[in-house]
Structure 1
């Protein structure tokens, strides 16, 4: 996964391939797809990303590999029981505005990915509905920050909320899909 270790390098790969989005948005879309139940073993995500980010055109092999690395990053961290999942955002050394813009892109991507796969909003639990409502509000966040300690703390809290909320959605909808696979039953 060396291509996606560094946020700036990931941004360069996207720009060099004329995909004009933030790496955080890619991570958010994949997270949203998985959080609402896309089968982890599926490679359907590539077609979805192509439809969303490349007007349905197939990606070149470099981009396919790049997106596969992102997919592995998200799936490996979402599927752990240790809550190690993190949003893919610029390093904390970057400005709060850069981090906030990336957060808004991530949350918007999550909502997009979630919405593409979730067809029955009415059957979602109140907790998941609240997450979607809150994420919609976060996607409208004013990303102008004064670079104060209070702003840094507020940004951290929003990022942490988004992280935990993603895990909640995945636990309720994504893992449910994983365990819903047909199991053989032995009659005694």
Structure 2
């Protein structure tokens, strides 16, 4: 969800990215793409955006090119900057709030799936899996993995479901920042070796 008051300054439009994906014949959600980019960065792959694009292509078995690849390069840079920002400007890329809740919940689940794919790609290439992560981050990764199965509870009212969704998004936002900061702390202290993504 990138709006004018969020990190990307309104540059990234969910529907525009979705249209590019359809044009390229890729059956993947913009949320899953952003989740994957974020997972790569949170696992420590804070190198060049081109390496991030290659990582996404490999983790999700895609072949993004042309204008969409350019968009992904910019999204990688903006996401990395948002994660590093002291004002906690990071937000997952999800459909607008006026979209039906079921579709937003589906997109949230796909974002989480993408995050886990990107995170796993980096940690596997570095030969460390989830070992060595501080306790909070290890638990957060389990939570994010569980969110891949997220759905709407039909027994709740629309207002309750909406409130629950917003609460989960906010948790996900700060949980992601927590994993990023833990990894950065370990990289800076030398506990982790910086991985390379090619």
Same fold, judged at TM 0.5 (above): yes
Mapped to 2, the partners of 1:175 and 1:68 lie a distance apart of 25
Q: Which residue of 2 aligns with 1:17?
A: 24
Question: Would the alpha carbon gap of residues 108 and 68 (structure 1) be closer, same or farther in structure 2, given more than 3 Å must change?
Answer: same
Correspondent of 1:127 among 128, 136, 140 = 136
Structure of higher CA gyration radius: 1
Alignment of 1:169 onto 2:176: no
Instruction: Say if 1:3 and 1:9, in contact at 8 Å, map to a contact too.
Output: no
Which shows bigger deviation, 152-161 or 116-125?
A: 116-125
What is residue 196 of structure 2 aligned with on the other side?
none
Query: 1:23–1:3: structure 2 CA closer, same or farther, 3 Å change rule?
Result: farther
Distance 1:126 1:154 in 2: 25
Query: Which of 6, 14, 29 is equivalent to 2:36?
Result: 29
TM-score, normalising length: structure 2: 0.81
Query: What is the match of residue 47 of structure 1?
Result: 54
Q: Which runs of 5+ in 1 are unaligned?
A: 181-188
Match of 1:104 among 100, 109, 112: 109
Q: Structure 2 CA distance, aligned partners of 1:11 and 1:175?
A: 35
Aligned: 1:66 with 2:77: no
Change (3 A) 1:80 1:4: same
CA distance in 1, matches of 2:48, 2:168: 30
Specify whether residues 3 and 168 from structure 1 end up closer, same or farther in structure 2 by C-alpha distance, changes over 3 A only: closer
Matched, 1:7 2:17: no
How many residue pairs get aligned? The number is 178
Give the TM-score normalised by structure 1.
Answer: 0.85
CA displacement 1:26-45 (0-9 Å, x = unmatched): 11001111111112336321
Offset of residue 69 of structure 1 = 1.9
Residue 176 of structure 1: CA displacement? Answer: 4.4
1:148 is aligned to 2:155: no
